[in-house]
């Protein structure tokens, strides 16, 4: 065994030093033991300072007035959803970049006005609201936001839950670009365009006789999505949350959506390059800002009231025109959501009793309608669907209907809503069921769609046609 060299023994520390070391060690251990478990619950803190604002929109505005010339080549690569906007731009679709507003001499002021209006009407994530006292037209806005359950107390609760559960995908301002969003397909919804896919709102007109700007969802559609999630996407179910929290989240979704849409149109009119605007700008370049504001306002008024005289409004308007136009727009959007709630689709009565087996002729008729109207996009019954652009500039794929996964819900009535209303933001048109007996046409198509994924429930000739001969 190796001899260990002896070392000079170290002098013994004094008793006080030893006491101190015990004390230090004990303090450290206790602190670690207490602080770590007590600090962990801090992870759940959802308070947010009042100084945090909703970010003003900085990502491009897409406006697909007409369908793009060609289909997207593929899904954007993971983590790079913005690539699809490049594809759109390459085929000549105007992509309006809010950053370019800085270049115009009036751009900063315009942005400032938009920002001030949004901040005053919608508050901050800590104190969200819709409408502010003392602003022109506040009375109607306040009344409408109460009808739509957009009161500050509800929104504050919703905002808290939103930051905890939704923010990482949908982002602070509802821009659908949270930290985890880029890797998801389909992408999380960008609420700021006021568009929703799965709606059960019948087509209707506003009391003023005008069409709504967008196909609005009913509150129940949003609640249903929150409760059940969207099967086949990354949106999970929030059905185990307290009921008040789900309600608050639905309200907050509306809040983000309305705020985003007002912002969208205000920036859109600042950036749009349509011939009429360009003509007005060319005539008087010094007044570009004013002319664009008038265009925006006249848009808002036209939407609002056919008799409205823009010249008259402009001459009477006190102060800046842009906030006045945004207030008009906000009022209109609120009324549209309120109207949507009052206009549910009332399904036509199914001519076949539901407790009896599906008649073969119904399936055959459904197949006929499908082949006439649906197969263009849902090629191969959806197995070979070609990709397409949606209204957000993203890439979507028409559903594969041979697999029984339904994003908008699997009840027959859900399929009925989809075919009767279409999915407007994705360019899915509503089915034409007007020939002969509309109720029969509609329900035959629904019945066919419901049987389609299950080879055993199809008559042999149809099964052969759709699924081949393999499955008996």
Partner 1 sequence: MPLDPGNSPVPKATESAGFALDWSAPEHALPLIITGMAFVIWLCAFRFRKAWAAIVGINTAAVAAYTAWSARNGHWLPEKANDLAGEVDGLFNMVMVLITVFFILTQCVLIYAMLQKSPEGGRAKPVHGNHTLELVWTLIPGALLVYIAIAQLPTWAKMKGQNAGALLPSGYEVASDPADLLVTVTGKQWEWRMRYADPSGNKPEDPIQWASTPATADVHVVNELHAWKGAKVRLMLRTTDVIHSFFLPQFRFKQDMLPGKTIPALLHTDKTNINPDGTERSWEIACAELCGGNHYRMRGRVVIHPDRESFMTWLNERKSGQSARKEPLASADKPPANPMAGKQE
Tell me whether residue 69 or residue 470 sits nearer to partner 1 (CB atom): 470
How many CB atoms are located within 10 Å of the residue 338 CB? 17
Neighbouring CB atoms inside 10 A of 9's CB total 6
Q: What is the DSSP string of 365-416?
A: HHHHHIIIIITTTSGGGGTTPPPEE-TTS-EE----TTS---TT-SSHHHHH
Asked whether position 78 contacts partner 1 by CB under 8 A, the answer is no
Using rule CB under 8 A, residue 22 touches partner 1? yes
* Closest to 452 in 3D by CA, of 378, 372, 367: 367
For 101, phi then psi, to 5°, come to -60, -30
Rounded distance, CA 214 to CA 153, Å?
A: 27
Q: Which of 121, 159, 200, 201 binds partner 1 (CB under 8 A)?
A: 200
Kindly determine how many residues on this chain lie close enough to bind partner 1 according to the rule CB under 8 A.
54
Phi-psi bin for 133: left (phi > 0), alpha (psi -120 to 50), beta?
Answer: beta
The verdict on 34 binding partner 1 (CB under 8 A) reads no
108 contributes a contact to partner 1 by CB under 8 A: no
429 binds partner 1 (CB under 8 A): no
Question: Among 2-10, 112-120, 306-314, 372-380, which window interacts with partner 1 (CB under 8 A)?
Answer: 2-10
The Cα 216–Cα 356 span in angstroms is 35
Give the nearer residue to partner 1 in terms of CB position, either 425 or 453.
Answer: 453
Cα separation, 322 vs 102, whole angstroms: 17
Q: Which is nearer to partner 1, 237 or 361 (CB)?
A: 237
Beta strands in 301-410 (DSSP E): 388-389, 395-396
Closest to 176 (Cα-Cα) out of 256, 270, 84: 256
* Residue 240 sits in the site that holds partner 1 (CB under 8 A): yes
Q: Is 439 in the site for partner 1 (CB under 8 A)?
A: no
- 48 makes contact with partner 1 (CB under 8 A): no
Instruction: Considering only the stretches 92-100, 225-233, 330-338, 418-426, report the one whose residues sit in contact with partner 1 under the rule CB under 8 A.
Output: 225-233
Whole-number Cα distances in Å, 367 to 104, 374, 402, 417? 55, 10, 13, 18
Pair 452, 401: CB distance under 8 Å: yes
Which one of 350, 369, 388, 449 is in contact with partner 1 (CB under 8 A)?
A: 350
Q: Does 153 bind partner 1 (CB under 8 A)?
A: no
Q: Which is nearer to partner 1, 83 or 228 (CB)?
A: 228
CA distance 105 to 94: 22
Q: Is 342 in the site for partner 1 (CB under 8 A)?
A: no
Contact by Cβ (8 Å): 270, 292: yes
Choosing from 96, 135, 165, 387, the residue that interacts with partner 1 (CB under 8 A) is 165
Among positions 214, 224, 332, 388, the unique one binding partner 1 when judged by CB under 8 A: 224
Q: Decide: is 472 part of the binding site for partner 1 (CB under 8 A).
A: no
Give, for 113, the enclosing helix (H) or strand (E).
Answer: helix 107-122
**Counting contacts by CB under 8 A, is residue 4 touching partner 1?**
yes
CA–CA dist 16, 180 (Å, integer): 56
- Nearer to partner 1 by Cβ, of 73 and 236: the residue is 236
Given the complex with partner 1, which of 26 and 372 has the nearer CB atom? 26
Q: Applying CB under 8 A, does 341 fall inside the site for partner 1?
A: no
Q: Does 14 bind partner 1 (CB under 8 A)?
A: no
58, 413, 461, 465: residue in contact with partner 1 (rule CB under 8 A): 413
Kindly tell me which of 46 and 432 has the beta carbon lying closer to partner 1. Answer: 46
Decide if 304 contacts 208 (C-beta within 8 A).
yes
**423 has which bridge partners?**
428
In the complex, what is the shortest distance from the CB of residue 32 to partner 1, in angstroms, rounded to a whole number?
12
Which residue, 334, 275, 272, 325, is CA-closest to 302?
Answer: 325
Length of the chain (residues): 472
Query: Binding residues for partner 1, per CB under 8 A?
Result: 1, 4, 6-7, 9-10, 15, 18, 21-22, 25-26, 29, 44, 164-165, 168, 180, 200, 220, 223-224, 227-229, 231, 234, 236-243, 245, 344, 346-347, 350, 354, 404, 410-413, 416, 443, 450-451, 453-454, 456-457
């Amino acid at each position: 065994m190796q001899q260990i060299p002896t070392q000079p023994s170290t002098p013994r520390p004094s008793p006080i030093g030893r006491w101190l070391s015990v004390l230090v060690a004990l303090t450290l251990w206790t602190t670690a033991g207490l602080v770590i478990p007590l600090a962990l619950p801090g992870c759940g803190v959802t308070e947010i300072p009042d100084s945090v604002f909703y970010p003003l929109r900085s990502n491009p505005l897409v406006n697909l007035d007409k369908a793009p010339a060609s289909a997207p080549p593929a899904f954007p690569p993971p983590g790079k959803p913005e690539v699809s906007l490049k594809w759109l731009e390459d085929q000549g679709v105007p992509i309006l970049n809010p950053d370019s507003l800085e270049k115009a001499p009036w751009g900063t002021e315009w942005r400032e006005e938009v920002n001030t209006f949004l901040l005053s009407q919608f508050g901050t994530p800590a104190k969200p609201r819709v409408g502010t006292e003392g602003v022109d037209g506040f009375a109607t806005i306040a009344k409408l936001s109460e009808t739509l359950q957009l009161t500050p107390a509800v929104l504050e609760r919703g905002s808290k839950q939103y930051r905890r559960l939704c923010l990482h995908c949908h982002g602070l301002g509802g821009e659908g670009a949270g930290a985890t969003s880029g890797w998801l397909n389909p992408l999380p919804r960008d609420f700021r365009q006021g568009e929703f896919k799965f709606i059960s709102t019948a087509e209707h007109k506003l009391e003023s006789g005008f069409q709504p700007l967008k196909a609005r969802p009913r509150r129940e559609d949003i609640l249903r999505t929150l409760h059940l999630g969207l099967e086949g996407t990354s949106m999970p179910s929030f059905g185990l949350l307290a009921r008040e929290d789900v309600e608050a989240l639905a309200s907050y979704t509306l809040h983000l959506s309305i705020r985003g849409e007002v912002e969208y149109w205000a920036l859109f009119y600042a950036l749009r390059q349509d011939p009429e605007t360009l003509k007005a700008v060319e005539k008087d370049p010094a007044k570009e800002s004013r002319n664009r504001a008038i265009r925006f306002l006249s848009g808002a008024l036209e939407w609002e009231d056919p008799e409205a005289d823009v010249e008259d409004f402009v001459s009477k308007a006190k102060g800046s025109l842009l906030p006045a136009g945004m207030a008009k727009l906000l009022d209109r959007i609120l009324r549209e959501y309120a109207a949507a709630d009052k206009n549910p689709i009332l399904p036509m009565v199914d001519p076949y009793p539901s407790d009896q087996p599906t008649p073969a002729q119904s399936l055959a008729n459904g197949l006929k309608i499908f082949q006439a109207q649906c197969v263009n996009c849902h090629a191969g019954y959806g197995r070979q669907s070609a990709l397409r652009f949606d209204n957000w500039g993203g890439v979507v794929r028409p559903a594969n209907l041979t697999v029984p996964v339904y994003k908008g819900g699997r009840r027959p009535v859900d399929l009925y809503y989809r075919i009767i209303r279409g999915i407007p933001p994705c360019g899915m048109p509503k089915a034409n069921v007007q020939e002969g007996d509309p109720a029969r046409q509609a329900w035959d198509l629904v019945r066919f769609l419901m049987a389609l994924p299950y080879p055993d429930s199809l008559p042999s000739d149809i099964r052969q046609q759709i699924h081949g001969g393999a499955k008996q």
